[in-house]
Chain A
Amino acid sequence: MIELDLGAPFDRHRATVKPDWIDWNGHMNVGYYVVAFDQATDTLCQQFGCGFEYTRDKIGMTFVLEAHVTYDREVREGDELRVTTQILDHDAKRLHYIHAMYHAGEGYLAATNELMLMNIDYASRRSARWPDFAMERIEKMAAAHAGLPKPKQAGRLIGIKKK
């Protein structure tokens, strides 16, 4: 397993906006923000030993239960993205975290994605406790992130404000 990165927030994932991620409005489509964020989740899960090999070797899978996205600014084809991740909470089977996507060159916040991820047993496709090797690493990262302030985009309720 790769060495655990205890930087707070976790700041490893990088991506580039691909041509086929652009829609007729000339910017990254809402669905592809989530593609980019899901790849950042893969980078995170690799830290816990729950990445591609975890599924390829038929040990387990991780399923997203719920997601919340804020679309803060547009990004265009070819833009370089930096995604940071903060662990918010966890239990025996689940992980609650939030990604922040930045335009890597200009530094602005482009979007956030709050997620609830669940560990899944490969054979039954049902929820299962995190394997010990993963839980140990999740707890270390959660402890490293415990001092971070709660992002204002976390725990949001969707609605149109009455004026």
Chain B
Amino acid sequence: MLDSLPYELPDLVTAAPLDTHRSTVLPEWVDWNGHMNVAFYVTAFDQASGAFMRNMGLGRRYVDGKLGMTFVLETHVTYDREMKEGAPMRFATQLLERDAKKVHLFHEMFHAEQGYLASTNETIVMNIDYASRRSAPWPVPVAERLETLWTTHRLLPKPAKAGRVMGLSKR
């Protein structure tokens, strides 16, 4: 386990949910149906996970410094409404659970101007040791930040779209 990180960490944002990440639907994310393709919702959410991790102190320098990486283990997406090219996106992120090596995150993607919910993404992200490419405990300052964030995020209600199992409901 890393006891410290050899770079300055950004000021911690403790807002619950975390509501800092913004993005725009790029032209190359649009498919033959004329809307953002399913895969690029996942790319957009992955960038929101990146924003969450940067807030924890794990940005590009964590990888470039050959200290560690974060890998997604599993992800669940609900596609609620279409997004067209150029649409502005706003993301809200809730920490649902954390342990020594992993976080369980829930992202909501909103159309930033029209306000509607476009999609949700529930995801598990794991800390990885750079050299072995195997799971490893969070660096100590990251674990501390997760605990600080947890004190506010644990009080949020569980999102209605979290914990879904896929299937056709028989009517």
Contacts and interface: CB of A to CB of B under 8 A. Distances in A.
A43 B122 CA distance: 27
A29 interface: yes
A31 B26 CA distance: 14
A89 B168 contact: yes
A96 B74 contact: no
Nearest to B47: A31
Interface residues of A, number: 40
B123 interface: yes
* Among A35, A74, A94, residue most surrounded by chain B Cβ atoms (within 10 Å): A35
Interface in B34-50: 37-40, 42-43, 46
20 contacts: A24-B63, A29-B46, A31-B43, A32-B39, A38-B37, A38-B39, A63-B79, A64-B38, A68-B75, A68-B76, A68-B77, A68-B166, A74-B133, A91-B168, A155-B166, A158-B75, A159-B124, A159-B163, A160-B97, A160-B104
Interface of B: 32-33, 37-40, 42-43, 46, 60, 63-64, 69, 71-79, 82, 97-99, 102, 104, 122-124, 133, 163-168
